[in-house]
């Protein structure tokens, strides 16, 4: 991996009432501009059979700012509004390249409230960050230091559904460099009883974060359903539900970060299965448990950490019969119901733990690819 890695450092911060008001208005303007631009792009394609460019979208935005009913767009920084048009352009590029679906409208309740500021829209001095249109710097909780001499290139401010404020600071991180080569390799079999089972025989227990808080979450959701919509009581009840979800997500993210970092540091090659998680979620009996396991998140973390640290991530085809093959003699078994957790090979009499055997087969298949 060549060059210095750009890395985002995310921190909590506590805005003053004035800062919170400005940021909330900025989030609303960003969402409005995105949705209006998406509607305009869709209209132009439907009537003129052509695609709008980012330059055209930017010119349309300038016209909106001159309209009396949209004059409030001038009260917030113009940079986040331009950035949301750039992100929309990237979304259309991915759509036309068939890498993603058609961009969707942003919802006030469901979409992420965020705004991106580039270097011209914030001031960074003596470890303090001040955004455009603000007099005072943000009160950031510096839970970990930025790299020495770091100069932010982009700052993204967001507010989650539980009311917490975050700032993500993008900097060049010279500390990210390839690790010394290792002679260790590992195959991983994802599961529900064990989150992952490795080819070494290690089983990482599935904490089932959502199940631990299911009763508390169900109670909070029942209370929310009893409240009158758009009332203050409804808002407070919704916040209680959001905070439980946030706590579940935080614990899950913490575990996956620690697990993925350890796997990448210890092994030169990591081999995983290409799981069709979206299709598996159609199984309504297992959908909640599969979502809680967050296999897709683990794969995403392994992908970028392997790229950062000079490791090799290999992905085995999802149809590879890893559970049905004997990892010693290679004999295939016709059927292997999920209820079977251990089995004896009829070819070599080897006794296998289902998940460990599958992980060993995944490793062998991955190492065979060149």
- 179: DSSP letter: P
Which residues contact residue 267 at a Cβ distance below 8 angstroms, ignoring those fewer than 6 apart? 182, 184, 185, 186, 311
Catalytic site residue 202?
no
Q: Identify which of 303, 308, 299, 313 has the alpha carbon closest to the alpha carbon of residue 256.
A: 299
Tokens standing for residue 206: 């599935």
C-alpha to C-alpha distance for 233 and 226, rounded to whole angstroms: 10
**What Rg value do the Cα atoms of the chain yield, rounded?**
25
Q: Which helix (H) or strand (E) holds 59?
A: helix 54-65
From the list 116, 210, 292, 355, the catalytic residue is 355
* Dihedral sign, Cα of residue 237, residue 239, residue 244, residue 249: positive
3-state secondary structure of 211: helix
Catalytic site residue 292?
no
From the list 116, 189, 210, 292, the catalytic residue is 189
From the list 116, 210, 273, 292, the catalytic residue is 273
At residue 206, what are phi and psi to the nearest 5 degrees?
A: -85, 110
Catalytic site residue 250?
no
Q: Identify which of 178, 201, 181, 204 has the alpha carbon closest to the alpha carbon of residue 191.
A: 204
Where in the sequence numbering do the catalytic residues fall? 189, 273, 355
């Amino acid at each position: 991996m060549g060059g210095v890695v750009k890395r985002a450092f995310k921190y909590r911060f506590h805005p003053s009432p004035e800062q919170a008001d400005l940021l909330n208005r900025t989030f609303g303007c960003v969402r409005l501009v995105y949705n209006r631009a998406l509607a305009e792009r869709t209209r132009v394609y439907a009537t003129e059979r052509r695609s709008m460019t980012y330059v055209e979208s930017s010119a349309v935005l300038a016209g909106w700012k001159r309209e009396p009913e949209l004059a409030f767009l001038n009260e917030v920084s113009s940079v986040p509004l331009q950035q949301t048009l750039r992100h929309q352009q990237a979304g259309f590029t991915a759509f036309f390249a068939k890498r993603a679906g058609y961009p969707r409208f942003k919802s006030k309740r469901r979409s992420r409230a965020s705004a991106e500021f580039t270097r011209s829209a914030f001031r960074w001095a003596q470890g303090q960050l001040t955004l455009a249109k603000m007099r005072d710097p943000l009160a950031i909780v510096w839970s970990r230091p930025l790299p020495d001499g770091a100069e932010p290139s982009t700052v993204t401010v967001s507010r989650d559904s539980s009311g917490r404020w975050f700032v993500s600071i993008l900097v060049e991180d010279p500390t990210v460099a390839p690790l010394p080569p290792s002679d260790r390799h590992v195959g991983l079999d994802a599961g529900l009883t064990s989150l992952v089972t490795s080819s070494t025989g290690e089983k990482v227990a599935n904490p089932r974060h959502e199940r631990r808080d299911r009763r508390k979450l169900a109670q909070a959701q029942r209370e929310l359903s009893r409240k009158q919509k758009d009332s203050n009581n409804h808002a407070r009840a919704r916040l209680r539900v959001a905070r439980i979800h946030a706590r579940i997500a935080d614990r899950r993210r913490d575990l996956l970060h620690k697990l993925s970092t350890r796997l990448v540091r210890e092994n030169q090659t990591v081999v995983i299965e290409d799981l069709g998680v979206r299709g598996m979620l159609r199984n309504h009996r297992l959908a909640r448990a599969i979502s809680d396991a967050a296999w897709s998140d683990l794969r995403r973390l392994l992908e970028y950490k392997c790229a950062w640290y000079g490791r090799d991530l290999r992905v085995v085809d999802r149809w590879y019969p890893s559970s049905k093959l004997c990892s010693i003699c290679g004999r295939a078994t016709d059927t292997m119901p999920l209820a079977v957790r251990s089995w004896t090979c009829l070819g070599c009499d080897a006794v296998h733990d289902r998940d460990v055997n599958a992980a060993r087969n995944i490793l062998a298949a991955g190492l065979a690819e060149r």
